[in-house]
Amino acid sequence: MISGQKLIGRELIDISPLDNPLRTAFFALPVIIFTYLSLQFFKNITTGVTLLLPRTGLPWPVIYPGKLPKSKFNPKKYYLSSYDGPLMTAFLGLFLFAAGEFFLVIMFKTFSYTFAPL
């Protein structure tokens, strides 16, 4: 309830990204990041990838093609290391691409609420 009104419905409506540039930037950043990471996964789909997350700073993953040798892994610099085979690499690439597409679609949609007096 909002100020004596009852919510009776909501629907998704189309909007222009130029109406609110801050909202556009907020949704465009994940689109760019997720699409870039999905392309990195798709580029290395035959060999698989090793994911490394740095311990300091932003958790931007380092994508190493193939299995990372233990001699190159620095536990003081990286927080997490995991090897993903070709099938999991393809799944992660598709998942990140779908997430980027979701944010792209949401950038052009918003909810419109319908209220009725009590």
| pLDDT reported for residue 97 | 95
Q: How many CB atoms lie within 10 A of CB 107?
A: 19
What are residue 112's DSSP bridge partners?
11
* Percent of the chain whose predicted confidence (pLDDT) is above 90: 25
Name the residue among 47, 76, 39 with its Cα closest to residue 64. Answer: 47
> Where are the domains positioned within the chain?
5-117
Cα–Cα distance, 43 to 92 (Å, whole number): 12
> Residues 87-113: what's their mean pLDDT?
91
Name the residue among 51, 117, 107, 106 with its Cα closest to residue 82. Answer: 51
Task: Name the burial class of residue 24, with classes exposed (0-12), middle (13-18) and buried (19+) by CB atoms within 10 angstroms of its CB.
Answer: middle
Predicted TM-score of the model (pTM): 0.76
| pLDDT reported for residue 2 | 59
What are the angstrom distances between the C-alpha of 47 and each of 50, 53, 87, 92?
10, 20, 10, 14
Instruction: State the average pLDDT for the chain.
Output: 85
Cα–Cα distance, 34 to 105 (Å, whole number): 14
| pLDDT reported for residue 66 | 85
